Amino acid sequence: MSQPEAWLLGRVEGFPDALMPAVHSLTQARRELVALRDAASTTDCLATPGGAASVGFHIAHITGSLDRLFTYARDEPLSPDQLDYLSREAEIARALSKDELLDAALQRVDVCLETLRNVPRDLLLEPRRVGRDRLPSNVIGLLFHAAEHPTMHVGQIRTTLKIIRSPEDDTRAIDRRRRLYPPNS
């Protein structure tokens, strides 16, 4: 039997209870990123089936988005380096190896987990502004979104891998496509 998802493993020692769902989400995303080391090839990371974002892009975006969202949570503006990374995520995904992308993402998740360990509870409801439009949020909102955002991208990675690994002559896939997209009558 495989290990249950992180949220089913109980409290993680050393973290505030109020942030446990965020800790669980980041822990789960980290586990899934680690599993990609063996599950995905460099070729897999570059594929863009039907114009969809590549696995590499999703990994690069996890790294950048966590960095940006935790910056907003600290009530700091994005740096020129962060803005540059944001504008070049697709390029970075093509330029770095699978292992370099995963190392950067795992390192960023670890930094975020360490940050969550030390967030004062009285700071959680403090207002924060997000993005160029300075949209309203608060510290806990930013931290929760930052933690769940990688899980969405891990799901997209899984879907992309299924698509690129589905052989063209797989009759089950063809039948499924016919049911989903019946020919016009």
Gap between the Cα atoms of 24 and 11, Å rounded: 9
Decide if 128 contacts 142 (C-beta within 8 A). yes
Contacts of 139 (CB under 8 A, 6+ apart): 73, 119, 123, 124, 125, 126, 128
Domains along the sequence of the chain with CATH: 10-180 (1.20.120.450)
What's residue 2's pLDDT? 77
Structure tokens at 93: 């995904």
In this prediction, residue 179 carries a pLDDT of 55
The pLDDT score that the predictor gives to residue 185 is 46
If you search the block for the tokens 């969550």, which residue do you land on? 116
- CB atoms under 10 Å from CB of 144, counted, come to 18
The stretches in the chain having pLDDT less than 70 are 1, 168-185
Q: Which two tokens stand for residue 73?
A: 């949570």
What is d(CA 54, CA 59) in angstroms, rounded to the nearest whole number? 9
How far apart CA 19 and CA 182 sit, in angstroms, is 46
Residue 99's pLDDT is 96
User: What pTM does this model have?
Assistant: 0.87
SS3 111: helix
Provide the b/e sequence for 84-100 (b: ≥16 CB within 10 Å).
ebeeebeebbeebebee
pLDDT for res 166 = 81
Whole-number pLDDT of residue 8: 84
Phi and psi angles of residue 129, each rounded to the nearest 5 degrees, phi first? -110, 140
pLDDT of residue 172: 57
